[in-house]
Structure 1
């Protein structure tokens, strides 16, 4: 799909009648082959708290990008995946050619192509683990050609 060596977080378009959270999980699975679950976080949100506790599964950020005159609004979720799991093959849609790579947080933040991806990843890391960066996260990249 990409002709560059961009390193980015999984994301994509939601299907009609699909909720944003389900779209985030589906897109992560399609692009990486890993089944993810939303990570409940105790972070500020404007959503009404119906459970009484501080944790929620709301988006951790919303960003906007304009590409070729088209506005893209991205709702970001923190999710968890088992890094020891073997990813399922054949989950990508036609025209997608991503390779999943695991990086520790420091390497991942430095490697991400887009500034807003880095900012969102830092928000998720801080919300999940505090300022400590000793954990891994997954990114997607076009495969390297030899």
Structure 2
């Protein structure tokens, strides 16, 4: 079983669960195969894309939603990075990390690796991924 969890980057730090301020970046990982990336700016603009697999592909429900417009989301994310972190990022570098809308397998075995590559591009600190010892008993 892979990692399941939600991490938020806001106010210059990572927290578990939801963001504490805007702008924010929310990373929701499902079984180390899907990472939902939500980003919001202070003007309420933002977007969503996936790393690993799009959920509609992962859960074998291709009609459950439209494929992500990876070009538009890559451009939106690079604008967010510039505004939130002051870093210039090439949208093509972001797009190469995104889940393929056609369901092609990702390059990384676990989606956390793709998350870390995305954060490195953005110049953001890496989160401290929880370990089994960090999880509640049961």
TM-score by length of 1: 0.27
The higher relative CO (CA closer than 8 Å, separation ≥ 6) is in 1
TM-score by length of 2: 0.28
If each structure's helix is expressed as a fraction of its own residues, which one has the higher value?
2
Structure (1 or 2) with the larger CA radius of gyration: 1
